[in-house]
Amino acid sequence: MTNDSQMVWDSCLRTIKKNVSPQSFKTWFDPIRPVQVEQNVLTIQVPNKFFYEWLEEHYVQLLKQCIRQELGERGRLVYRIPEAGSGNVQGNRPGEQPIKVSAKPSADKDTEPVPGSFDVETIKNPFIIPGIKRVKVDPQLNVNYTFDTCIEGDCNRLARNAGIAVAKKPGGTSFNPLFIFGDVGLGKTHLAQAIGNEIVKRHDNKSVLYVTTEKFTNQIIQAIKNNAVTEFVNFYQIIDVLIVDDIQFLSGKSKMQDIFFNIFNHLHQQGKQIVLTSDRPPKDLKDIEDRLISRFKWGLSADLQAPDLETRMAILEAKIDEEGIDIPQDVLEFICYNIKNNIRELEGVMISLMAQSTLISRDIDLELAKEVIRNFVSTINKEITVEFIQELVAEHFDVPVDKLHHETRKRNVVIARQLSMYLAKKMTNRSLKSIGETFGGRDHSTVIYSCKAVQDMMDTDMIFKDTVADLEKKIKLSLNQ
């Protein structure tokens, strides 16, 4: 190692440090050693081929930029890799060329490789760093998926709380594996990645990796092509927390299942944490070996259900707070009334509303919400409004509608008002507070009292009970007109 090469590489590291996270810098650049610099070529030594391929895939443009800055536009970077289990450096034997990456401008097409690639034949990726028992890898997590942004409700309370327990003590609870299942769009990926992000935050000594089953399968295929299945398995076996999304896609892939079985067994025996997601519970998985399904059942299977109205409202309110926009309460209630089974669609409606409001300067109102929702659902539920109920009940009792908003002791007006509140609570998605406000600004306790009074009258007066039933039927029939 010459002083010149060290000086050049140190200068490169200063630039790199400004462009990558501290963890990535420590993992992928600290182990690199400069070997020599000759004219416009800097040679560096990396621990193994895994490092080389990782740098090629993730940092080649940054490295090119650094080399250009230090060695000029024709600067090049050459990698040398020690042979596994020896101190010899590949690339030193007669006739063998070291691995190179060129920083020369792409105008010289005779010698310049394709941008982002290396001017050598493809080498196999062993997915392993020889001689290193523990390695920090990029966890492949979306930093926006956290427990703070995962709104809790009855629909996800078990799974969310189990995830928090796992994040606090990965591998140290009985929830191993934690198997999260539910229909599309209910937040499985969000919750699984929230677990990973929380573990990264709490346990910086843990290697965390999130991978989809599709990506996992593609990696296996490449490993088989490169005769590197053993190295592939070894790499996954050093992970402390493995999160695999959509495990149902292993269905019918016997070779993939064999490899995953070996990885699963090793991790579980070593007390490593496994988190799996699926669109169905383990017992309903098709074309997956019984030995795997049995292991999926070892820990906790927690389902995610469709969120109730209150949870959907909370999700949307959190979203608009995050975006800093103002959406009327009736618009939020209308959206939640029509989008019931898919959180992803709820967020999609919100994004569409914000885009319409921003790009074409429209106010976000009920009419705009109806236009947007037609892109998400085939039919929009006709809305039962409190105002419509007031008109129908007032007509039945032959009292002016505005009397329902005012203070009066007349019995027929009081009953009409109380019955209107009862039907509004039962047949609309409006909150108690919102219902009370439509009756002259009354509070929610008045609505609760009125509903109880109507229920008591129905329990003791069959004629009144029939009246309520007739009004309900009339309201429902009006939706089909």
Is 138 a domain residue?
Answer: no
Alpha-helix runs per DSSP H in 324-440: 329-338, 343-359, 366-373, 386-397, 411-427, 432-437
pTM over the 0.85 mark: no
Same domain, 322 and 196: no
Please state, in angstroms and rounded to a whole number, the distance separating the CA atoms of residues 229 and 258: 11
Q: Assess contact for 53 and 231: CB atoms under 8 A.
A: no
- Confidence tier at 62 by pLDDT (50, 70, 90): confident
Q: Where are the beta strands (DSSP E) in 280-343?
A: 300-304
Is 50 a domain residue?
Answer: yes
Burial class (CB in 10 A: 0-12, 13-18, 19+), 303: middle
Give the CA distances from residue 240 to residues 121, 134, 158, 195, in Å, rounded to whole numbers and listed in that order: 33, 9, 23, 13
Q: What is the CATH number of the domain that holds 359?
A: 1.10.8.60
Angle CA 187–190–191, to nearest 5:
85
Please state, in angstroms and rounded to a whole number, the distance separating the CA atoms of residues 142 and 189: 10
Q: Is residue 381 scored above 90 in pLDDT?
A: no
Give the CA distances from residue 182 to residues 189, 212, 303, 471, in Å, rounded to whole numbers and listed in that order: 10, 16, 6, 38
Is 136 a domain residue?
Answer: no
- Confidence tier at 375 by pLDDT (50, 70, 90): low
Pick from 318, 315, 293: which is nearest to 304 by CA? 315
Reported as a single tens digit per residue, the pLDDT across 195-233 is: 999 999 988 888 899 999 998 888 888 888 888 888 888
Q: What is the CATH number of the domain that holds 26?
A: 3.30.300.180
Give the CA distances from residue 44 to residues 76, 117, 129, 315, 358, in Å, rounded to whole numbers and listed in that order: 11, 17, 17, 50, 50
For residue 43, list its beta bridge partners: 36, 78
Boundaries of domain holding 46: 3-102
Q: What is the CATH number of the domain that holds 464?
A: 1.10.1750.10
- At 178 the pLDDT is 93
Same domain, 316 and 232: no
Same domain, 266 and 231: yes
Q: Assess contact for 191 and 150: CB atoms under 8 A.
A: yes
Same domain, 463 and 348: no
The full DSSP string for 12-52 is HHHHHHHHS-HHHHHHHTTT-EEEEEETTEEEEE-SSHHHH
Please state, in angstroms and rounded to a whole number, the distance separating the CA atoms of residues 27 and 137: 8
Is 242 a domain residue?
Answer: yes
Backbone angles phi, psi at 122, to 5 degrees: -60, 135
Domain's final residue, options 285, 304, 323:
304
* Residue whose pair of structure tokens reads 């921003």 in the numeric block: 358
Domain's final residue, options 102, 133, 148:
102
Same domain, 212 and 240: yes
More confidently predicted of 83 and 447:
447
Same domain, 169 and 225: yes
Give me the half-sphere count of Cα atoms (radius 13 Å) on the Cβ side of residue 352.
17
Please state, in angstroms and rounded to a whole number, the distance separating the CA atoms of residues 394 and 4: 92
- Confidence tier at 380 by pLDDT (50, 70, 90): very low
Is 261 a domain residue?
Answer: yes
Q: What is the CATH number of the domain that holds 249?
A: 3.40.50.300
Same domain, 347 and 406: no
Please state, in angstroms and rounded to a whole number, the distance separating the CA atoms of residues 176 and 121: 42
Q: Is residue 243 scored above 50 in pLDDT?
A: yes
Same domain, 410 and 333: no
Q: What is the mean pLDDT of residues 330-356?
A: 73
Same domain, 296 and 344: no
Same domain, 317 and 297: no
Least confident window among 20-29, 270-279, 420-429, 460-469: 20-29
Sign of the torsion angle spanned by Cα atoms 127, 129, 130, 134:
negative
Q: Where are the beta strands (DSSP E) in 111-212?
A: 178-182, 208-212
Total number of domains constituting the chain: 4
- Confidence tier at 319 by pLDDT (50, 70, 90): confident
Specify which of 11-25, 264-278, 312-326, 335-349 reaches the highest per-range mean pLDDT: 264-278
Q: Is residue 104 scored above 70 in pLDDT?
A: no
Q: What is the DSSP letter of 250?
A: G
Is 378 a domain residue?
Answer: no
Same domain, 351 and 393: no
Same domain, 401 and 369: no
CB atoms within 10 A of CB 377: 14
Angle CA 214–235–77, to nearest 5:
95
Angle, in degrees to the nearest 10, between helices 254-269 and 229-237: 40
- Confidence tier at 374 by pLDDT (50, 70, 90): low
Please state, in angstroms and rounded to a whole number, the distance separating the CA atoms of residues 77 and 120: 13
CB atoms within 10 A of CB 73: 12
Angle CA 380–401–471, to nearest 5:
55
Is 405 a domain residue?
Answer: yes
Q: What is the mean pLDDT of residues 260-277?
A: 90
Domain's final residue, options 250, 276, 304:
304
Give the CA distances from residue 281 to residues 167, 173, 367, in Å, rounded to whole numbers and listed in that order: 22, 20, 40
